[in-house]
Amino acid sequence: MRKLFPIIVAALCAQVLLAQSNKEAKALLQESSQTMKAYPAMEIGFTYTMENNRVDPPIIQKQEGTLALKGEDYRLKTPMLEQLRVGTKLYNILHEDEEVQISEYEEEEMGMSPARLLSFYEKGYSYKMGGSETINGKKITYVILKPIASEEIDKIMIGIVANTKEVYSMKQWGTNGTVTTLIVNSITKNAKWPANQFQFKKSDFADYYISE
């Protein structure tokens, strides 16, 4: 019994520390989300990388882009794709192919979509703190999320700038070996957009093939 008592105490202490870590992690995510949702008109400049070393040949893709967010609507721009959500409609604009694909926006099918960037963690995940490091003079604190039920996602790690509470990075490990990383290069809190930033007019794409 004397030998068992220290083990029980250690186990209870570990549970208490884990619970504290979980609360701290969720509180940090909430603070970061509230901070960035308060920005009047937010635009993010980012670098996106996708890697999978389990396949032959290995896959490595890297591109830069911007993401403009206004409520639930967004406009995502990369060299390969421009994607616009307006209410219940989703527009995939393929400039190279001169094609626009129009469909209904289905949240369940979009996964961790731009519209859910600041709120996806609220349901379906457990949390814990993941340490910290300094990058380019910024202290980055990490939170690790584990999906409660997912066949596709192993875990997600979010980096948050300690003093501003802005998101610095998001890294997702897929169960198929795919690792995707998004690094935030810049955040504009009060972006100035053209009047048609969150509008779609077919007349603007007169030479494009439009499928609905």
Q: For residue range 94-118, what is the model confidence (pLDDT) as tens digits?
A: 999 999 999 998 765 445 556 567 7
Q: For residue range 70-101, what is the model confidence (pLDDT) as tens digits?
A: 888 889 998 888 999 998 899 999 999 999 99
Domain 4-211 has CATH 2.60.40.1190: no
Q: For residue range 20-30, what is the model confidence (pLDDT) as tens digits?
A: 457 888 889 88
| Residues sharing a CB contact under 8 Å with residue 191, sequence separation 6 or more, in sequence order | 41, 42, 43, 68
How far is it, in rounded angstroms, from Cα 35 to Cα 52? 33
Note if the bond before 194 is cis, omega within 30 degrees.
no
Task: Lowest mean pLDDT of 77-86, 119-128, 173-182, name the range.
Answer: 119-128
Element (H, E) at 31: helix 4-37
All structural domains of the chain with their residue ranges:
4-211
Element (H, E) at 34: helix 4-37
| Residues sharing a CB contact under 8 Å with residue 98, sequence separation 6 or more, in sequence order | 207, 208, 209
Closest CA to 28 of 167, 139, 133: 167
Give pLDDT, residue 163. 94
